[in-house]
């Protein structure tokens, strides 16, 4: 099958992979547009009148902001060049980060597609939404941001991937889903399985939506793109993608590339599964050079989706909507990215559990800020957007609004953050939980030997030294176990109901 991006499949004649076009054309367009204003005094005068009429007097109520949510799929939070990764170029994401605030301690609620997405649109954890595994409907009693913004008078629309449970509602012929109007983006006889097939049409549909926007009511537009998820097909369809010996300038292996000898048995078993998460089995015989090629392709897929994000941002600028539109970029979960020789998702390692979280609202949210301290979760998206829009005051969320810490970073959002994992729907007894504070991270697996992990993320960000059995860290482990036990009780998390923990992994200190 040869439908994937040609430049990824085979190297170009020059041996170099061309970078996505950046923003030079957009900037030139805006510059020329401003020059034309100076060339036409009447146009300039009209523009000044518009600017004057849009300025707000102190105390005057501002119009409700538009909301643009951009979701990528399977993007770890290190896969952005703005954060210093030299192995890819992401000018669109970089622009958003430079004009907004980027959180680096940002986690999905579960490194599984459907569960994480259910949290993004409800502000709840997966066990609360009813979506613990993929191919599951959200609990219909829970309002989504689509419902809540629609009730507040917003135009609400969804373009692209859904996965709750339909992969693409547009393909299923649905015209609405969970409070959103579904935007069609391509015909049913076209290919739908790769981001290389869908992301361009999805972005084009979003651009058309923005261009046609009539400003009669504010909009909430979610654009759910597919890449860099295509990395799943590199081990599944190796004949479609260039091998290491066909590529130049391969990225280096990560410092935490090797598998720890004391890795939990739960993860050992996952590496051998031939169904969900089979990327691990398919990469089990990868050489170091194969893993470098894996990373090469992963970064190219990320660049591909960045190019589509750039289209959407330019459309927003061209429509003159930048100043009164909140833009959020995030992903539902990350990717193993060759760390611990892990492919895809379905683990609590940092690469799979962390995601980008960038939020921009010009003049309202600090620009060019990288926040490395606050613990941010995907379930914070919904309460944050509703808080900024001034709606949903009486809705109870498990997530927290980021507005207080965006306005005053000295405030503390939370002391602990929890991530859930259910990695195999065919064996519904398999579950794990992660809890971390500002420095330490504790993972607990509900079955198997060696079922605890403790990492000092300040001293060991690559999670290469498990401190769970270290006597000097017993007090740290017990503190995190106690916090996790309290969180489970407070949120009615059924973690302990699926399968009792072995005695040596009990939540009791």
pLDDT in tens, 58-98: 333 458 999 999 999 999 999 999 999 999 999 999 999 99
CB 432 within 8 A of CB 112: no
Rounded distance, CA 193 to CA 357, Å? 26
Confidence of residue 135 (pLDDT cuts 50, 70, 90): confident
Compute the average pLDDT of residues 4-10: 36
Q: What is the pLDDT of residues 275-322, one digit of tens each?
A: 989 999 999 999 999 999 999 999 999 999 999 999 999 999 999 999
Report strand pairing: 325-331 vs 357-360.
antiparallel
Query: pLDDT-based confidence at 40, cuts 50/70/90?
Result: very low
Confidence class for position 509, pLDDT limits 50, 70, 90: low
Find how far residue 435's CA is from the centre of its chain: 19
Give residues with Cβ within 8 angstroms of 4, minimum separation 6: 194, 196, 230, 233, 237, 240, 241
Triad 434, 338, 465: Cα angle to 5°: 50
The predicted-structure confidence for 95-132, as pLDDT tens digits, reads as follows: 999 999 999 999 999 999 999 999 999 999 999 999 99
Q: Any idea where the domains of the chain sit in the sequence? A: 62-411
pLDDT of residue 366: 97
- Count Cβ atoms within 10 A of the Cβ of residue 448 and give its class: 0-12 exposed, 13-18 middle, 19 or more buried: middle
Q: Is the dihedral of CA 286, 288, 293, 296 positive or negative?
A: positive
62-411 homologous superfamily: Alkaline Phosphatase, subunit A (3.40.720.10)
Q: Is the pLDDT of residue 445 over 50?
A: yes
Query: Residue 506: what pLDDT?
Result: 64
51 φψ region: left (φ > 0), alpha (ψ -120 to 50), beta (else): alpha
C-alpha–C-alpha distance, residues 105 and 103, integer Å: 6
Q: Provide the pLDDT confidence category of residue 12 given band limits of 50, 70 and 90.
A: very low
User: Per-residue pLDDT for 475 more than 60?
Assistant: yes
């Amino acid at each position: 099958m040869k439908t994937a991006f040609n430049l990824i499949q085979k190297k170009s004649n020059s041996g170099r992979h061309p970078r996505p076009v950046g923003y030079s054309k957009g900037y030139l367009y805006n510059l020329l547009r401003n020059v034309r204003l100076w060339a036409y005094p009447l146009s300039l005068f009209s523009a000044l009148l518009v600017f004057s009429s849009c300025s707000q007097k102190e105390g005057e109520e501002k119009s409700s902001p538009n909301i643009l949510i951009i979701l990528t799929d399977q993007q770890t939070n290190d896969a952005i060049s703005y954060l210093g990764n030299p192995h890819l170029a992401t000018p669109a994401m970089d622009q958003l980060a430079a004009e907004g605030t980027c959180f680096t301690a940002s986690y999905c609620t579960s490194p599984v597609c459907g569960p994480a997405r259910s949290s993004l649109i409800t502000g709840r954890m997966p066990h609360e939404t009813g979506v613990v595994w993929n191919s599951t409907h959200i609990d219909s009693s829970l309002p989504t941001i689509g419902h809540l913004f629609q009730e507040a008078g917003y135009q609400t629309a969804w373009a692209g991937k859904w996965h709750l449970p339909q992969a693409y509602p547009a393909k299923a012929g649905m015209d609405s889903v969970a409070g959103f109007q579904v935007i069609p983006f391509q015909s049913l006889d076209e290919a739908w399985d790769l981001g290389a097939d869908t992301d361009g049409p999805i972005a084009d549909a979003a651009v058309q939506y923005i261009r046609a926007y009539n400003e009669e009511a504010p909009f909430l537009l979610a654009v759910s793109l597919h890449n860099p998820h295509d990395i799943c097909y590199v081990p599944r369809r190796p004949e479609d993608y260039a091998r290491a010996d066909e590529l130049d300038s391969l990225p280096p292996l990560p410092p935490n590339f090797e598998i720890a000898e004391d890795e939990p048995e739960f993860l050992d078993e996952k590496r051998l599964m031939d169904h969900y998460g089979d990327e691990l089995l398919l990469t089990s015989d990868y050489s170091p050079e194969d893993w470098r090629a894996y990373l090469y392709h992963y970064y190219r897929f990320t660049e591909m989706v960045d190019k589509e994000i750039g289209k959407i941002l330019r459309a927003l600028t061209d429509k003159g909507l930048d100043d009164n539109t909140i833009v959020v970029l995030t992903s539902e979960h990350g990717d193993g990215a060759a760390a611990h020789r892990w492919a895809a998702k379905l683990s609590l390692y940092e690469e799979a559990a962390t995601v980008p979280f960038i939020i921009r609202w010009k003049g309202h949210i600090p620009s060019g800020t990288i926040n490395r301290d606050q613990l941010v979760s995907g379930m914070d998206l919904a309460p944050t957007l509703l808080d900024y829009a001034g709606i949903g005051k009486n809705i109870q969320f498990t997530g927290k609004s980021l507005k207080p810490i965006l306005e005053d970073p000295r405030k503390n959002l939370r002391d602990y953050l929890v991530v859930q994992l259910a990695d195999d729907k065919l064996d519904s007894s398999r579950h794990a939980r992660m809890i971390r504070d500002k420095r330490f991270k504790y993972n607990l697996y509900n079955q198997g030997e060696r079922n605890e992990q403790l990492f000092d993320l300040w001293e060991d960000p690559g999670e290469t030294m498990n401190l769970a059995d270290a006597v000097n860290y017993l007090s740290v482990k017990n503190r995190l176990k106690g916090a996790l036990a309290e969180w489970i009780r407070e949120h009615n998390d059924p973690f302990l109901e699926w399968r009792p923990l072995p005695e040596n992994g009990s939540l009791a200190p």
